Structure 1
Amino acid sequence: MATILLVEDDTNIKDLVTFRLEMEGHEVTAVDDGRDALAVAQADPPDLAVLDVMLPGYSGLEICRKLRADASTAEIAIIMLTARGQESDVEAGFDAGADDYVTKPFSPRELARRVEALLARGQH
């Protein structure tokens, strides 16, 4: 079991991803605001974060950069989960420090497999 921070402001997606990851045995903390996400991650760093890009407060890209810049959160595995699927958007996600990039619409099963793959590698 891993601890996962899910940052998603769409309630339906947040509920769906939380349900799927909890079915896989993970402990999920879900928030819908970028500032809250950063505070939660810094207070109790999760094993993995799933970040939407377009969020109130800080964007997912800003959160990613801030997590990578802080020694206490730099090793968190990060998956971007976003509707922004242009090549430049994907590049921006990886440039910010993301380990993986999943575009919406997405398969919850595929997202769960990507989470498991990142956790199994134990790295970012």
Structure 2
Amino acid sequence: MDDDDDIRDIISFRVRRDGHEVTSIGHPSKALEVAATQSFDLAILDWSMPVMNGGELCERLHALPHLDGLPVLIVTAYADMDTRQSAERSGASSYLTKPFSLHDLAGCVGALLPVVERAS
């Protein structure tokens, strides 16, 4: 979930390339609407979004009984310790600072999700 279409597309591309199914959403309210009826293995959230930040969205996702314990990766341009600690307090599992390499993104996702076998 990133409100920047280009960043969201890059993240979605890399995660799909690694064999995972992706639901890409650009607004936190829409993300909550979708999350109310669907389960996910991982949420990748931007910290700076309209209406609420990634920490608030993380807390609201974890408040849904079927998503309690959902691994959450926060992706953000904020590298300061206060934001990192806020993300941790909100229940985020991992934190990746922009700009990031696709290799670093894949490493974070891989650490939070099981390896997916791809057909040759």
Q: Given residue 75 of structure 1, which amino acid in structure 2 is its aligned partner?
A: G
User: Does residue 105 of the first structure (1) align with residue 96 of the second (2)?
Assistant: no
What CA deviation, in whole Å up to 9, does each residue of 1:20-53 have, x standing for no partner?
1111011111111011111112210210000001
Give the TM-score normalised by structure 2.
Answer: 0.89
- 1:85 CA displacement: 1.3
Aligned to 2:51: 57
Identity %: 37
- Is contact 1:65–1:97 with CA below 8 Å preserved after alignment? yes
Q: Larger % of strand: which?
A: 1
- Is contact 1:33–1:58 with CA below 8 Å preserved after alignment? no
Give the TM-score normalised by structure 1.
Answer: 0.87
User: Does residue 68 of the first structure (1) align with residue 66 of the second (2)?
Assistant: no
Moved over 4 A (4+): none
Q: How many Å separate the matches in 2 of 1:58 and 1:104?
A: 19
Q: CA RMSD for the aligned pairs?
A: 1.4
Structure 2's unaligned 5+ residue stretches are 115-120
Paired residues, number: 115
Structure with max Cα Rg:
2
